[in-house]
Structure 1
Amino acid sequence: MDITEGSKAPAFDMFTAGGGRVTLDGLKGRTAVLYFYPKADTPGCTTEGQDFSSLIKDFDVVEAVVIGVSRDPVKKLDRFKTKYDLKVILASDEPGDVTEAFGVWVEKKLYGREYMGVERATFLIDGAGVVRRVWRKVSVKGHAAEVLAAAQSL
């Protein structure tokens, strides 16, 4: 499914690092930043988590909840969050339902090998559950600041 700006965000319910849960319904009335990343504790994903974490106070000012989503198990996310002192919510989509619903479970190519993986993508969702901005094939450098600017403009 292709999620575009102006469409309703797919419902989700995921377990998070630290033993919590996050649902779309539970975020009603608040802006949500859902950023999908391929794998915890890899260089690009670590940088992205650190960049969003460094801006968390600014996201808090505009009442935006920042959620990093991967298909890693919760135990791995717990270690990842602790190791790098990440301030964002890390959600586990181990079954793959959410990555499929958002259309970020895609065919990838690396060194001539084709495989399925998570596309680095971000969705800015308003308090009514409507997708306001979509970033696909994200380049990590400067991305968190760009998302913050978009959240501030809602």
Structure 2
Amino acid sequence: MRLTTLALSALCTAAPALAALPIGAKAPDFTTEAALGGKTFSFSLAQALKKGPVVLYFYPKAFTSGCTVEAHAFAEATSAFNALGATAVGMSNDPIDTLKKFSVEACRNQFAVAADDGARVMKQYDAALWMKPDTADRISYVISPEGKILFVHSSMNPEGHVQNTLKAVEAWKREQPAR
């Protein structure tokens, strides 16, 4: 019985979730409260897309082990995303006061984390856990400056989200006309 439970647990952890927004779909616009370096501000997807692509990653809960690992990885890659003209932003249903601390400690003042009060945005992006609809699944989207979904990575394992979204942004950048 124990072996079956472990196998089932491993399968559930490694199996990708299903994202409803397919590549090419229009990304739902949103504006919400966010934190960067412990300070709050209003994050607007439309405004961020004016600067370049946006890597929007949903995560279940600040200060949990997997979410902290993922935040550290995004923090280390922020300069690479910025060099490609991309903005990374994390999103969960945590209260903004929690995210202010998370933006400093786990995100290392490198990128913003946004509060999804009421899980409104995660539901629009089909990024809610099916068993806990007020909690985000671990899904990363790359959104083009035109507001279209370019790439989706869906896995409860925090490993791979950063490297795969970075590869997608690099591919997008290669396809852009030279200026």
TM over 0.5: yes
Return the index of the structure with the highest Cα Rg.
Answer: 2
Unaligned runs of 5+ in 1: 109-114
Question: What fraction of aligned residue pairs are identical, expressed as a percent?
Answer: 27
Aligned counterpart, 2:95: 73
Pairing 1:66-105 to 2, within 5 Å after superposition? 66-84=88-106, 85-105=108-128
Aligned counterpart, 2:7: none
Quick one: which amino acid aligns to residue 69 of structure 1? M
Quick one: which amino acid aligns to residue 157 of structure 2? S
Task: Give the deviation of 1:138 after TM superposition.
Answer: 4.2
Task: Give the deviation of 1:145 after TM superposition.
Answer: 1.4
Structure 1 residue ranges (4+ consecutive) displaced by more than 2 angstroms after TM superposition: none
- Residues 65 and 36 from structure 1, CA distance in 2 versus in 1: closer, same or farther, beyond 3 angstroms? same
Aligned counterpart, 1:53: 75
Q: Aligned-residue CA RMSD in angstroms?
A: 1.5
Aligned counterpart, 1:146: 164
- TM-score, structure 1 normalization: 0.90
Quick one: which amino acid aligns to residue 22 of structure 1? F
Residue 19 (structure 1) aligned with residue 37 (structure 2): no
Unaligned runs of 5+ in 2: 1-18, 173-179
More strand by share: 1
- TM-score, structure 2 normalization: 0.78
Task: Give the deviation of 1:86 after TM superposition.
Answer: 4.2
Aligned counterpart, 2:8: none
- Secondary structure of the 1:105 match is coil
Aligned counterpart, 1:28: 49
